[in-house]
Structure 1
Amino acid sequence: MSAGRFAGQAVVVTGAGQGIGRGVALALAREGAQLVLADRAAIVEEVAAEVAALGALVTVARGDLETWEGAEQLNAAALAAFGRVDVLINNVGGTIWVQPFQEYGPAQIEAEIRRSLFPTLWCCRAVLPDMLQRQQGVIVNVSSVATRGIYRIPYSAAKGGVNALTASLAMEHAQHGIRVNAVATGGTEAPPRKVPRNEQPLNAQEHQWYQGIVDQTKNSSLMQRYGTIDEQVAAILFLASKDASYITGSVLPVGGGDQG
């Protein structure tokens, strides 16, 4: 990474409280970005403090991005803080339950789609008017190679939706100077989540299903391993930067050879 790729740019990072989102926020701060960090959990304040310690301007927007109102409020906070959104990085998502599709109830399926599709859909819609007015902007959506995977079918469907959104939005708005791409993350080593997606501990059967996901993920990777947060962050920042100025409508798999 070269210092300064995002100097003076206003960048929104959703799901910034932990994991890949936190890694993206810290890397952007080191490269000169002005940051709006979004999360519904209070831990995002800790990340904001880390970012500020690196010398970056930062504001926090807490809210529920599964709703249009939450996305609107995030966009308003970014415009109030910096007057524009140069880059939007949509990182909210992640499977809540681990089980074969026939075990999912209707409410669980709807919750998975709300978690892993709607925050990206709403936030893209929220930032578009400003980007269109300025005839420039960059959106990077965090997808997953789990569009082809086991025991999390609703999540897979949601991330397939993210990929379709990415391609269609890029096609619609390339003429307006807006680039839209996605990084399809593979299995990624990360510290234990401070705020779990599912507060209920896994039972013995669910542990077995979860191990099935781990095994399938490694077996689908040509490198036969999980990636690191830094490896995912590097791809996200590349697509967000001017280094990728002639790339739009693409989904970049970062899964050790797993194409999703």
Structure 2
Amino acid sequence: MNTNRFAGKVMVVTGAAQGIGRGVALRAIAEGAKVLFVDRADFVTEVAAEAQSDDAAAFVADLETYDGAASTMAFAKNRFGRIDILINGVGGAIRMRPFAEFEPAHIDAEIRRSLMPTLYACHAVLPYMLAQGCGTIVNISSNATRGIRRVPYSAAKGGVNAMTQSLAMEYGAYNIRVVAAAPGGTEAPPRRVPRNASGDSEQEKAWMGEAVKQVTESTFLKRYGTLDEQIAPILFLASDEAAYITGAVLAVAGGDNG
């Protein structure tokens, strides 16, 4: 950890209430950033308080809506004066089942959860970055662009990858970098908010087990990653150490690049 790496930088982290997003936001504070912790779960305020720093603030917003993204960026600008880095961490498969078993409403929900928050947040932050003449966006994708039992989620993350590359090409001349990290399976504490609020049937649990087996066996290292193994590459991509990297999607998945 480099305690000065983000000194003077303002970072917005979405999905900061738990999992990878929480870890990224807390470590960024420790490395000198001013951080807005954003989530629709109201306990994001508790997470921001863990930083014990005046440079940490929390904002509750639903990033599945454009208004949520726009209000987030406006709050960050008003609170900190600028936005140097955006980490788009909202997303995650809701259901795991064979594609033929998905209902149309389920497909829509997966796209809304794992594509639209990133698309909306990128759009909402651009005016601020363009006005200040620089910025960095790190999108959290997934190596699940190739995998079983989650085709709609795979499609959403494929969209994140395409968006990353196209935005990087379009806005590189404006000194705005856009990159993505694509985590593989990651060990994490139990979620305080379940991915599927309606719960999983025994059949769905079995399908999920098949997905977990595929994810593990597809990696060269034959194991899940740790939170620390995901957080470090994300913050590297966000830092000035990666100043000549844009349009790249970095697989952090034990060799399974998706």
Is TM more than 0.5 here?
yes
Which secondary structure does the structure 1 equivalent of 2:118 belong to?
Answer: helix
For residue 173 of structure 2, what is the aligned residue in structure 1? 175
The unaligned stretches of length 5 or more in structure 2 are none
Matches within 5 A, 1:117-156: 117-156=115-154
Which secondary structure does the structure 1 equivalent of 2:83 belong to?
Answer: coil
Shift of 1:201: 2.8
The residue type paired with residue 62 of structure 2 is: D
Shift of 1:32: 0.6
Matches of 1:86 and 1:56 in 2, distance apart?
Answer: 18
Matches of 1:130 and 1:12 in 2, distance apart?
Answer: 12
Q: Does 1:251 align with 2:252?
A: no
**8 Å CA contact retained: 1:63, 1:70:** yes
1:80 to 78, 81, 89: 78
For residue 92 of structure 1, what is the aligned residue in structure 2? 90
Matches of 1:201 and 1:160 in 2, distance apart?
Answer: 26
Which secondary structure does the structure 2 equivalent of 1:227 belong to?
Answer: coil
Matches of 1:174 and 1:202 in 2, distance apart?
Answer: 43
2:230 to 229, 232, 241: 232
**8 Å CA contact retained: 1:33, 1:56:** no
For residue 7 of structure 1, what is the aligned residue in structure 2? 7
For residue 165 of structure 1, what is the aligned residue in structure 2? 163
For residue 194 of structure 1, what is the aligned residue in structure 2? 192
**8 Å CA contact retained: 1:166, 1:181:** yes
Q: Does 1:48 align with 2:48?
A: yes
Q: Does 1:18 align with 2:18?
A: yes
Shift of 1:45: 1.1
Matches of 1:215 and 1:198 in 2, distance apart?
Answer: 20
For residue 205 of structure 1, what is the aligned residue in structure 2? 203
Aligned length: 258
Shift of 1:163: 0.1
The unaligned stretches of length 5 or more in structure 1 are none
Moved over 2 A (4+): none
**8 Å CA contact retained: 1:32, 1:56:** no
Which secondary structure does the structure 2 equivalent of 1:128 belong to?
Answer: helix
**8 Å CA contact retained: 2:19, 2:188:** yes
Which secondary structure does the structure 2 equivalent of 1:189 belong to?
Answer: coil
Deviations 1:56-102 (A, max 9, x none): 51221111101111100001100110111100000000011111101
**8 Å CA contact retained: 1:29, 1:56:** no
2:57 to 56, 59, 67: 59
The residue type paired with residue 197 of structure 1 is: R
The residue type paired with residue 118 of structure 1 is: M
How big is the alpha-carbon RMSD for the aligned residues of Structure 1 and Structure 2? 0.8
**8 Å CA contact retained: 2:220, 2:256:** yes
Matches of 1:165 and 1:61 in 2, distance apart?
Answer: 25
Shift of 1:152: 0.6
Matches of 1:48 and 1:153 in 2, distance apart?
Answer: 34
Matches within 5 A, 1:103-114: 103-114=101-112
**8 Å CA contact retained: 1:35, 1:56:** no
Shift of 1:178: 0.4
Matches of 2:197 and 2:121 in 1, distance apart?
Answer: 26
Matches of 1:199 and 1:70 in 2, distance apart?
Answer: 21
**8 Å CA contact retained: 2:64, 2:113:** yes
For residue 221 of structure 2, what is the aligned residue in structure 1? 223
